[in-house]
Amino acid sequence: MTETTANGLAVPENGRSRGYLDEKGFRSWALTLDHKRIGVLYLYTTLFFFLLGGIFALLIRIKLMYPGQAIFSDQTYNVLFTLHGSVMIFLFIIPGIPSGLGNFLIPLLIGARDVAFPRLNLASYWIFVAGILVILGSLFRPMDTGWTFYTPYSAKTGANIAFLSFGIFLVGMSSILTGLNFIVTVHKLRAPGMTWHRLPLFIWGMYATSIIQVVATPVVGITFLLLAMERLFGVGFFDPAKGGDPLLFQHFFWFYSHPVVYVMILPAMGVISEVIPVFSRKPIFGYRAIAYSSLAIAFLGFLVWGHHMFVSGMSKTASIIFSFLTFFVAVPTAVKVFNWIATMYKGSITFESPMLYALTFIFLFIIGGLTGMFLGALATDVHLHDTYFIVAHFHYTMMGGTVMGLLAGLHYWWPKMTGRMLSEKMARWGWLLTFIGFNLTFLVQFYLGFKGMPRRWAEYPPQYQFLNIVSTVGSWILAGGILVMFSNFIRGLFRGDPAPANPWKGLTLEWRTASPPPTENFETVPVVTDWPYGYAKRKPADDG
């Protein structure tokens, strides 16, 4: 027999309300206006594509174990690496933390009941799904251009590029609407007393991310429309035979695609800024430096796109300017890393899974960032561009960085989102295999690239074989780690121990409500009187 809660929702028979999760049925999810449910929908969707993209990666690495091996054709390989990049970037990494964790947490962290435009939020999810379906529809003539779709090849190839362009356009539109929603939410819906300098740093990171989303994404949308027009109407924007320029496509494309890597990393850095103080029981060091560095990164990120084009045929003068500006994006990034480490100084540190992943983020992102130095410098980039060095660099920053940040966030906020605890033991095994597998897969690729192995090659001369075998074995260990981790997630959904409201003794507002939270987030809207990092004044036993 069912009872109803105070706000009229049906309570399950065992009597334990699960807050926003109580209401059942397809329509209650498909037509939900609750930012938490929309966040969960995004998480399921993006994590599905993470696994799908991962399967493509495993296939890629199998092909690369033996040069020329005919497990499948070179053309299939070419489609696979294009799908791997496109799926991972457009359907997982870009929406992952912002639309998943961001949707769930932003209102909670600022003490609001929902985002500014809940209906727009729901629309953005379904536009995302529509984009996915269109992209999947294009697969009956799959593309092999690489996720960068350079012309003239992408304008001439037999693949369904116009379809695909439209799908990406829709996915981009979804992220613009989400970004818009978040910006207005942060400006207008903060709880009483929540000044800008009392905002959690995850919010600062998400705010900077949302600005990039809104400003940069329209450019890539238009770029793909131009590409579709090129194919359908033969306009000639990018075709030299008609007076066009293939480099124009590259400028348009990278004008978005460089800022988008900051869309990928800023939310992850925001997660780290939340996790480190909690598990060090110390205030975050350099709050303003970290907050403002997010804005600096967002701004500088718009000025450096040409560093993807040093050998493209772009002018030397432009190359020099882009190289100079590129180096300066590294500085606010380094500032964050130093401040996180300073936070740990004289802290009281424990290593639950969120902290393990956060520390892993810092460790691997430093490697990714330092290898970027070789790519910003003109002389060395000329050698390394379009080799496996680049592949290793972006996997260290995107997977060692963003994905580890997402995993830290998932492990950290899992109890809040699901009302259950994950198994720490399984989490640690998953972490260990992931860490070992990741490094084995990608570290050797720096050397492969330096020795000249080009990227996007289905086969290669024999001198590169040994390290390719090592890398493939690494990918299997990495896959094992992901498998353990996702098993933990599935177990955690159904059999995890019930979670208290504040298992990690955090001070941000989401921990002041039940796990999982009620639909309206807070019984009463909190009044904020202090910043959320005052750990040092308390002993751990004081936080309940």
Partner 1 sequence: MTNAFAAAGAASPSAWKIDAVFLFITGVSLFFFLLVEGLLIYFAIRYRRRKASEDAATSDVKSNTVLEIVWVLVPSLAVLAFFTYGYMVYRDVTAPQPGAADINVTAGQFLYEFKYPDGRTAMNELRVPAGRPVKLIMTSRDVIHGFFIPDYRIKQDILPGQYTYLHLQPDREGTYDIFCTQYCGVGHSTMRAKLIVMSADAYAAWMARGEGVKAAMSLPEKGKALLEKFGCLGCHSTDGTVKVGPSFKGLYGREVHLEKGRETIADEEYIRESIFDPGAKVARGFPNIMPTFKGSIADDDVAAIVAYIKTLK
For residue 275 the two structure tokens come to 């996790």
- Distance of closest approach, residue 221 Cβ to partner 1, in angstroms: 23
Q: Looking only at residues 247 through 266 of this chain, which bind partner 1 when binding is defined by CB under 8 A?
A: 247
Cis omega before residue 152 (within 30°)? yes
In the block, residue with structure tokens 């696979």: 80
Q: Which of these segments, 45-53, 326-334, 426-434, 436-444, binds partner 1 (CB under 8 A)?
A: 326-334
Asked if 234 touches partner 1 (CB under 8 A), the answer is no
Quick one: which of 137, 234, 461, 498 contacts partner 1 (CB under 8 A)?
A: 461
Asked if 218 touches partner 1 (CB under 8 A), the answer is no
Number of residues that bind partner 1 (CB under 8 A): 92
Asked if 289 touches partner 1 (CB under 8 A), the answer is yes
Q: How far apart, in whole angstroms, are the C-alpha atoms of residue 78 and residue 144?
A: 5
Side chain identity, residue 529: T
Q: Which of these segments, 93-101, 284-292, 410-418, 477-485, binds partner 1 (CB under 8 A)?
A: 284-292
Q: How far apart, in whole angstroms, are the C-alpha atoms of residue 285 and residue 341?
A: 8
Asked if 192 touches partner 1 (CB under 8 A), the answer is no
Q: Which of these segments, 92-100, 219-227, 259-267, 320-328, binds partner 1 (CB under 8 A)?
A: 320-328
Quick one: which of 44, 196, 363, 466 contacts partner 1 (CB under 8 A)?
A: 363
Dihedral of CA 439/445/446/447: which sign?
positive
Contact 402, 268 (CB under 8 A): yes
Quick one: which of 140, 346, 462, 490 contacts partner 1 (CB under 8 A)?
A: 346
Q: How far apart, in whole angstroms, are the C-alpha atoms of residue 210 and residue 198?
A: 19
Phi-psi region of 452 (alpha: psi -120 to 50; beta: other; left: phi over 0): left
Q: For residue 198, give every residue at least 6 positions away whose Cβ sits within 8 Å of its Cβ, in sequence order, or none.
A: 528, 530, 531, 532
Residue whose CB is less far from partner 1, 30 or 382: 382
Q: How far apart, in whole angstroms, are the C-alpha atoms of residue 221 and residue 131?
A: 12
Asked if 142 touches partner 1 (CB under 8 A), the answer is no
Q: Looking only at residues 406 through 425 of this chain, which bind partner 1 when binding is defined by CB under 8 A?
A: none
Asked if 436 touches partner 1 (CB under 8 A), the answer is no
Quick one: which of 88, 228, 399, 458 contacts partner 1 (CB under 8 A)?
A: 458
Asked if 454 touches partner 1 (CB under 8 A), the answer is yes
Asked if 374 touches partner 1 (CB under 8 A), the answer is yes
Asked if 431 touches partner 1 (CB under 8 A), the answer is no
- Distance of closest approach, residue 222 Cβ to partner 1, in angstroms: 21
Q: How far apart, in whole angstroms, are the C-alpha atoms of residue 347 and residue 203?
A: 24
Q: Measured at the alpha carbon of residue 347, what is the angle toward residues 342 and 352, in degrees to the nearest 5?
A: 105
Quick one: which of 44, 196, 338, 466 contacts partner 1 (CB under 8 A)?
A: 338
Q: How far apart, in whole angstroms, are the C-alpha atoms of residue 329 and residue 409?
A: 25
Concatenated DSSP letters for 201-234? HHHHHHHHHHHHHHHHHHHHHHHHHHHHHHHHH-
Asked if 370 touches partner 1 (CB under 8 A), the answer is yes
Quick one: which of 337, 426, 436, 470 contacts partner 1 (CB under 8 A)?
A: 337
Q: Looking only at residues 294 through 313 of this chain, which bind partner 1 when binding is defined by CB under 8 A?
A: 311-313
Q: Looking only at residues 378 through 397 of this chain, which bind partner 1 when binding is defined by CB under 8 A?
A: 378-383, 385-387
Q: Looking only at residues 61 through 80 of this chain, which bind partner 1 when binding is defined by CB under 8 A?
A: 74-75, 78
C-alpha distance from residue 540 to each of 173, 191, 286, 504, 508 (Å): 44, 26, 22, 10, 15
Quick one: which of 61, 258, 282, 411 contacts partner 1 (CB under 8 A)?
A: 282
Residue whose CB is less far from partner 1, 8 or 243: 243
- Distance of closest approach, residue 251 Cβ to partner 1, in angstroms: 14
